[in-house]
């Protein structure tokens, strides 16, 4: 007898299993953790090109004027001035200023928007939109008809160009509609790896053909969520449930530049209050003095051994050949160059607070 | 999963290869596969005394840390210092180049608490491997 809740499958689950992926439950979905191994997949992504199945992520459509629809007031990023065919990252908050989710908004037309949200909180997010949009009828969840394949790595443009010649003109954080293997689809130049890359929103039932076609190119390897996490930690990108939650404000999480204080949005008053009072803890980024790596939940200590924070994400960094971590650290103990340590009751490891990102040589904006 | 016929095994997936009264210790193919790419090994001290099934090594993979337990009591005679720079040897060759430590065995009778290759194979099957 199993008490586990059934996991959703992406349209590519059989492909992953056939390729020998180690599968894992993530955000309610049955997802590939790794194929060849995290280090090999890291190497391939940073130097060549990887494909990720991100069909678990949620996609919502909203129709209407930015302001009148209520959309602008739900999210922290400014959307009214977004040019069509651009995307913008931001968050949506509760009244207390805590993060309901982080999301990217795509402006498809002056009055047509697509939001991409995390898989685990799709239903919670949908509810939040429907509750706060002027008319819930303008909202549509297209998650289960939309597959999402991420092609990421320095060679991704050259590889995608062989299937979509016009892709070369796409600039960072812009998108367009293209015809790919006979299917109309949306492709954005976005990603979560720090490398040049594309996110392809493709018809769910046709995605297997696209996956197979892209993998026919021997420069492309399939890549799992394990290395995706390593890549995003090297870039200091937040992951909901780690750096972000309903108890954490985007200011604490270091996402200040994705908040537009010139407009009204849910949670703004709480954020203004936080700004006035200052923060006890803020996101810090640190590098281990050794290969020993911080892990989520580890304590962070100052030089005298006093607890000053908590690790939210940690990993071994193949780029630095050191452990790296993200965590909330007390104000005053969080200055770049400050020495700290991290660990649990068994092991304490020295580290130093660093600038973000840890990985600076990516092809992201090439 | 590869299993060495003449080694002995623990339920925590360590192996010991006993020659005279010296036991070479490492982790099994199952263990290295479950851990994934190993990025750090904290070796025991030479001359350290360890008890059977006592934690004496920690290994870290990219995404996790794990404890390694000593299959038999004794004194640590030698450690594989090559693992400091090349912890991935455990992934590549867990039964030979990826050995972790050599133990001067205190009590040969403790081997009775370990599994033979056949027992370990059955044990892995019972785990669904």
The total domain count for chain A is 2
The enclosing domain of A223 has a CATH number of 3.30.1360.120
pLDDT in tens, chain B (129 residues): 899 999 999 999 999 999 999 999 999 999 999 999 999 999 999 999 999 999 999 999 998 899 999 999 999 999 999 999 999 999 999 999 999 999 999 999 999 999 999 999 999 999 986
Please give the helix or strand (H or E) that residue A132 lies within, else none.
helix A122-132
* Domain match, A293 and A225 both: no
* Domain match, A149 and A51 both: yes
B8-109 maps to CATH 2.40.50.100: yes
* B60 to A291: CB separation less than 8 angstroms, yes or no: yes
Q: Is residue A106 part of a domain?
A: no
**Smallest Cα distance from B128 to chain A, Å:** 15
> Of A215, A234, A253, which residue is a domain's last?
A234
Q: Which residue of A has its CA nearest to B84?
A: A291
* Domain match, A169 and A284 both: no
Give rounded-to-5 percent helix, strand, coil for chain B: 25, 35, 40
Q: Which residue of A has its CA nearest to B36?
A: A37
Please give the helix or strand (H or E) that residue A34 lies within, else none.
strand A29-34
Q: Is residue A148 part of a domain?
A: yes
Can you tell me the distance from the alpha carbon of B48 to that of A158, in angstroms, rounded to the nearest whole number? 56
The token duo for A40 is 């090999």
* Domain match, A159 and A49 both: yes
* Domain match, A150 and A218 both: yes
Q: What is the tens place of the pLDDT at every residue in B1-21?
A: 899 999 999 999 999 999 999
The enclosing domain of A310 has a CATH number of 2.40.30.110
* Domain match, A48 and A164 both: yes
Can you tell me the distance from the alpha carbon of A116 to that of A104, in angstroms, rounded to the nearest whole number? 5
The residue range of the domain holding A200 is 8-56+144-234
> Of A234, A261, A296, which residue is a domain's last?
A234
Residue of A34, A229, A291 with shortest CB distance to B40: A291
* Domain match, A229 and A289 both: no
CB contacts < 8 Å between A and B, how many? Answer: 45
Q: What is the tens place of the pLDDT at every residue in A159-208?
A: 999 999 999 999 999 999 999 999 999 999 999 999 999 999 999 999 99
Q: Is residue A251 part of a domain?
A: no
Q: What is the tens place of the pLDDT at every residue in A232-245?
A: 999 999 999 999 99
Dihedral of CA atoms A5, A228, A214, A18 in degrees, nearest 10, equals: -40
pLDDT band at A4 (very low <50, low <70, confident <90, very high): low
* Domain match, A150 and A298 both: no
* Domain match, A202 and A341 both: no
Can you tell me the distance from the alpha carbon of B44 to that of B54, in angstroms, rounded to the nearest whole number? 12
Residue of B36, B58, B88 with shortest CB distance to A34: B36
Q: Which residue of A has its CA nearest to B92?
A: A37
Q: Is residue A127 part of a domain?
A: no
Can you tell me the distance from the alpha carbon of A181 to that of A162, in angstroms, rounded to the nearest whole number? 11
Q: Which residue of B has its CA nearest to A225?
A: B63
pTM: 0.94
Q: What is the tens place of the pLDDT at every residue in A127-163?
A: 999 999 999 999 999 999 999 999 999 999 999 999 9
B-proximal residues of A, 293-312, CB under 8 Å? 293, 295
Q: Is residue A166 part of a domain?
A: yes
Mutation choice for A interface testing from B30, B33, B37 by most A CBs within 10 A: B37
Q: Contact, A231 vs A363, CB < 8 A?
A: no
């Amino acid at each position: 007898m199993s008490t586990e809740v059934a996991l959703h499958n992406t349209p590519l689950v059989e492909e992953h299993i056939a390729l020998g992926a180690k599968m894992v439950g993530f955000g309610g979905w049955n997802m590939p953790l790794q194929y060849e191994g995290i280090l090999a997949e890291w190497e391939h992504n940073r130097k060549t090109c990887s494909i990720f199945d991100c069909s678990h992520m949620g996609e919502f459509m909203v129709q209407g004027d930015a302001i009148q629809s209520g959309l602008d007031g739900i999210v922290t990023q400014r959307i009214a001035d977004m040019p069509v065919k651009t995307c913008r990252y931001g968050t949506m908050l509760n009244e207390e200023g805590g993060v309901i989710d982080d999301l990217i908004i795509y402006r498809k037309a002056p009055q047509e928007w697509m939001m991409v949200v995390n898989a685990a909180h799709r239903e919670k997010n949908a509810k939040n939109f429907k509750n706060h949009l002027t008319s819930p009828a303008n909202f549509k969840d297209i998650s289960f008809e939309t597959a999402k394949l991420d092609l990421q790595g320095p060679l991704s443009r050259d590889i995608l160009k062989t299937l979509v010649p016009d892709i070369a003109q796409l600039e960072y954080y812009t998108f367009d509609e293209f015809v790919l293997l006979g299917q109309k689809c949306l492709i954005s130049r976005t990603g979560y790896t720090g490398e040049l890359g594309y996110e392809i929103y493709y018809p769910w039932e046709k995605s297997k053909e696209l996956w197979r076609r892209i993998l026919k190119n021997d420069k492309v390897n399939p890549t799992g969520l394990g290395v995706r996490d390593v890549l995003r930690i090297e870039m200091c990108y937040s992951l909901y449930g780690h750096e972000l939650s309903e108890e954490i404000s985007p200011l604490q999480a270091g996402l200040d530049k994705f908040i537009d204080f010139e407009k009204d949005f849910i949670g703004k008053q709480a954020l203004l209050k936080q700004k006035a009072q200052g923060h006890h803890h803020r996101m810090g980024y640190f590098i281990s003095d050794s290969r020993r790596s911080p892990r989520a939940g580890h304590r962070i200590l100052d030089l005298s051994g006093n607890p000053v924070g908590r690790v939210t994400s940690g990993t071994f960094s193949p780029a630095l050949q050191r452990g790296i971590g993200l965590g909330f650290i007390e104000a005053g103990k969080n200055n770049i160059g400050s020495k700290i340590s991290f660990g649990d009751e068994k092991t304490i490891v020295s580290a130093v607070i660093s600038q973000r990102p840890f990985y600076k040589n990516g092809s992201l904006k090439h | 999963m590869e299993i060495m016929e003449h080694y002995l095994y623990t339920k925590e997936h360590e192996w010991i290869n006993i020659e005279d009264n010296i036991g070479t210790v490492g982790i099994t193919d199952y263990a290295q596969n479950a851990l994934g790419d190993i990025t750090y090994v904290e070796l025991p001290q030479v001359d350290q005394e360890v008890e059977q099934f006592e934690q004496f090594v920690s290994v870290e993979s990219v995404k996790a840390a794990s404890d390694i337990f000593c299959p038999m009591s004794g004194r640590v005679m030698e450690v594989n210092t090559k693992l400091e720079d090349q912890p991935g040897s455990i992934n590549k060759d867990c039964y030979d180049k990826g050995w972790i430590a050599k133990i001067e065995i205190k009590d040969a009778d403790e081997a009775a608490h370990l599994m033979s290759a056949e027992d370990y194979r059955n044990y892995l099957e019972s785990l669904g491997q």
